Chains A and B, each alone.
Chain A
Amino acid sequence: MGAVGARRRWLVAVAGLALAAAACSGGGGGSGSDDPLSGNTFENPATEKILTFTGVGKAHISGTLTLPQNAKGPVPAVLIVPSPGLTNRDGRTVGAPIDNLYKDLSKSFVNAGMATFRYDHRGAGASTLDPGVVPTWDDMVSDAQDALKFLGERNEVDGTRLSLVGHEMSGPIALKLAAADNRVKSVVLVAAPGRPLVDVWAGEFQALSGQQSADDLRALVANLETTGSFPPRDAMRPDQQTLLPIGQDALYKGMFAADPLADAKAVKVPVLIALGDKSTSISAEDASRIGKALGGTSEVVTAANATATLQTLKAAPARVVPGTPAT
């Protein structure tokens, strides 16, 4: 797939995300019958449990605990922290193409003898919010902390042996939890930024639309930091209207203000940093920055010819010159 084609797909995806987010803003939208994130079902009823814990503001956060087959006694467990936004326990984001990253990770971890817990972000899937309640960055952090506490207290789980997976901006959240909780034995980061989010996005817009687009994004973010909100969407560039969902300003303000490396130095457990070499935003530079900032050991694993969610791109079809034998 060419770079232009890939970027067009991405723009289509974020346009859908913005529209869906607008429809869901204010909470409660995640449970509607037309919500693509609804209908979380058991894949294997013998080993999966749909559970709910209560987050700050009395939000009901729904997740799936998956246990290894034939587990005898408490097992170690991995908490998969979803990327902030309207993302569900499987890794699917409202309006974006289906990508069940978290579900796929869970299957692999469970087959290796670990339990997993993955949850719907507040406002997505079955984690509904009261009307008018908007999620914040602090909510995302506290929900992850509550999820870890909830997981560690389950009878099926050995609460002294826990690990974390952080994806995109939940990477910094995972590092924050690992820095503060000695039950966490390791962390895996997937497509996590090692630079401020505005730099990551500005780089993306520069690649997509040129320097002016990147400059405009930086101006939008500066205005968000000052006023707490984005301007009316019709005052934005069309490409940026699609990127910034309506009703998520508080969350985005916190995300843009967050230093992805703020807690890295305090993390002493091993960290694996995973990325795809065809990612258009997260690069080896991000992985290098994270590795240097950590207080313990780290390892980088790069998926060849793969996207940020580690999906392998199809190889270009081989060219066959007429008259020559195929090899």
Chain B
Amino acid sequence: MIAGQAFLSLVVLIALAVTMAAPLILAILWIRDWKQRQLW
């Protein structure tokens, strides 16, 4: 069973969207922790 182009594109685009969002999520959490003096 060969994966179609739509399948390949969908998997990669979803993965890329999450990977691109990850630094933003971490940065937002860092700022929140920093403001609440809860970094460590």
Question: Are the chains A and B members of one assembly?
Answer: no
Chain B positions near chain A (C-beta within 8 angstroms): none
The residues of A with any CB-CB pair to B shorter than 8 Å are: none
